[in-house]
Structure 1
Amino acid sequence: MKNATLRQLKVFEAVARHLSFSRAAEELHLTQPAVSTQVSKLEEHAGNALFEQFGKKVYLTAAGAELLAISRNIIGQFEAAEAAMTQFRGVTGGRLNVGVISAGDYFLPRVMVEFAGRNKGVTLNFTVHNRAGLLACIGENQTDLAIMVRPPTDMDTIAQPFAVHPYVIVAAADHPLAGKRKIPLARIMKEPFVSREKGSDTFHAMEDAFGENLPLLHLAMEIRSTETIKQAVIAGMGLGFLSAHTLSLELRTGSLTLLDVQGFPLMRNWYVVHRRTKRLPPVAQAFKDFLLADGEALIEKIVPITGPAH
């Protein structure tokens, strides 16, 4: 193992985390053959097969599982060294690593670009996850900051709200309820819904909104993609319960309409979250302060919300 490289360990860790060479290649911005080559070289150094493949599925061998824990520790040590050295560089020249749940990718890139414009030389890196994926990133120290709606209660983290986050009910522009005022919840309950998957932040918010009535709701379809849900609602497959911050374009073009439902919108918050023991690099601390000071105003500008339910 003395000739193994940090690059090989990082590639191996990505493949092991995804159990997929193609997804690791996509994450690392490499070709799949390049990923396979790096893993093969590491296997030569280790003198053991690290993965085995049955059909299209990839599995860690016992040797691979052992090396994975060691690799993560080595990578973590290098990242700690980088963070320590960054303390002496300040914000300029730092690398900002942020993870976000899928609803946040409608505004976060522009918020990060605004931050970079005020802090020259900052390198930006952000990843988009469902709730489970983002919690895994926090737990495995894969990101400096996480942007989410429901901070974890079973992890030792610091979570601070920085912007309101409304959830609304939307329909196709030609839906019979479009334009109606003060629609009773009982009337909405008669309609089919297209919803995000159970376990997502959006579904948790839906549980909060409908409470004991949720089991009575007609969930016509459960979809993991917000964009696909919007297209299904536009096509007339049902109503949608979504973050208002994902709907700016469709509301502007008129392809979707907000319904004026009694008790809505459901108001929640966006939180910036990090591990309590995490020593934030100066650029991450500066971005956190930036979100707390200016995040809400920027989000309102980037994804404006219009309609009777707002």
Structure 2
Amino acid sequence: MNFTLHQLKVFTTIVENKSITKAASELNMTQPAASIQLKNFQDQFDIPLSEIIGRQFYVTDFGKEIHQIAEEILNKTKTIQYKTEAFKGLLSGKLKISVVSTGNYVMPYFLNGFLKKHPKVELVLDVSNKTTVIKDLEKNLVDFSLVTVSPHHLDLEELPIMDNHLVLVASKENTIISQKNKDTSIFNKIPLIFREEGSGTRHTMQLFFKQEKIAPKIMVELTSNEAIKQAVIANIGVSIVSLLSIKNELLQNDLKIIPAKGLPLKSVWKLIYLKKKTLSPVAAAFLEYVALEKENVYHNYFSWIDDIEK
């Protein structure tokens, strides 16, 4: 058996794309060249790795097993490269992080100093809804995820990095809510704009409502924090949002915080990762950096939260 790392790369890319043409494009190869590499790799085995039915590419069961082994080999070769760079004092490789949408107001400030310190690190940052973020983590597609509510079905390690404060906000044009020190009965009277089911913000809100025996009036359900902010600014309704996400809107006087008993609600932003995952040198270095620098990052970029809440 005499296959090459290049053949392994071509084979895994074809399997992941389920298409020789798409894989060739991703690898900056011609389609015939990719087909030749696949054939040369197939020639190493007496059992078919793939088959074409109609014009559709399929991977055989044997091919799926070889694909898994090929990925492990390619990952090991990357580790060799990263270890070599690290031995020379240069940290390199990919850092893959998935972040829930509101976490986009947090994560860049923890990445800033790390990436400046290690310029050869390549960042892959995906900002999505919580369902997608957890699926990426479960499939081991990322090193870390940033969430406020951890999934219970995964065996995880967690690193808390900072508090998340949720406040009730209304448009500056809203004249219905004007008095301070509202009790929780306010939520029985005002129409609320909610995040989608499954979001960390909604989860924290629902726990609060359940604890306080509140039956809120849900007016609108939106799937992003930005959409909620714009709806509140337009005076469609009020909402409970992360204080982190409305700094500019408060400064511009587009939104106002409405005091109410039990608010702000508090949760914790945390980096989570699979307990059995072997962290790459880059991922391990980032985890160590965040643990050491989280207080400095908060002081440098988020101390304005303390001023608002005084």
- TM-score bracket, normalised by the shorter chain, equals 0.7 to 0.9
Aligned to 1:162: 161
- 1:47 paired with 2:43, answer no
The number of residues matched between the two structures is 286
Aligned to 2:200: 201
RMSD in angstroms over aligned alpha carbons?
3.6
Once residues 65 and 193 of structure 1 are traced to their aligned partners in structure 2, the CA distance between those partners, rounded to angstroms, is 52
Give the counterpart letter for 1:166 in structure 2. H
Q: How does 1:175-254 map to 2 (within 5 A)?
A: 175-176=174-175, 180-211=179-210, 216-254=215-253
Aligned to 2:74: 78
TM-score scaled by structure 2? 0.77
Contact kept? 1:258, 1:308, Cα under 8 Å:
no
TM-score scaled by structure 1? 0.77
5+ residue gaps, structure 1: 53-60
Give the counterpart letter for 2:284 in structure 1. Q
Closer, same or farther in 2 for the Cα pair 1:207/1:51, shift >3 Å? farther
Q: Displacement, 1:260?
A: 0.9
* SS at structure 1 position matched to 2:305: coil
Aligned to 1:55: none
Q: How does 1:59-98 map to 2 (within 5 A)?
A: 63=58, 71=67, 74-83=70-79, 85-90=81-86, 92-98=91-97
Q: How does 1:288-307 map to 2 (within 5 A)?
A: 288-299=287-298, 301-302=300-301, 304-305=304-305
Contact kept? 1:168, 1:309, Cα under 8 Å:
no
Q: Displacement, 1:296?
A: 4.7
Aligned to 2:42: none
* SS at structure 1 position matched to 2:85: coil
Once residues 301 and 54 of structure 2 are traced to their aligned partners in structure 1, the CA distance between those partners, rounded to angstroms, is 45
Contact kept? 1:147, 1:270, Cα under 8 Å:
yes
Closer, same or farther in 2 for the Cα pair 1:51/1:151, shift >3 Å? farther
Larger deviation, residues 273-282 vs 213-222: 213-222
Contact kept? 1:207, 1:214, Cα under 8 Å:
no
Contact kept? 2:192, 2:217, Cα under 8 Å:
yes
Closer, same or farther in 2 for the Cα pair 1:296/1:252, shift >3 Å? farther
Contact kept? 2:93, 2:120, Cα under 8 Å:
yes
Closer, same or farther in 2 for the Cα pair 1:76/1:189, shift >3 Å? farther
Q: Displacement, 1:4?
A: 6.2
Q: Displacement, 1:306?
A: 7.1
Question: Could you say which structure has the larger radius of gyration?
Answer: 2
5+ residue gaps, structure 2: 40-49
Once residues 279 and 267 of structure 2 are traced to their aligned partners in structure 1, the CA distance between those partners, rounded to angstroms, is 26
Once residues 165 and 281 of structure 1 are traced to their aligned partners in structure 2, the CA distance between those partners, rounded to angstroms, is 28
Q: Deviations 1:238-284 (Å, cap 9, x if unpaired)?
A: 11111221111111111111111111111111111111111112221
Q: Percent of counterpart pairs with the same letter? A: 21
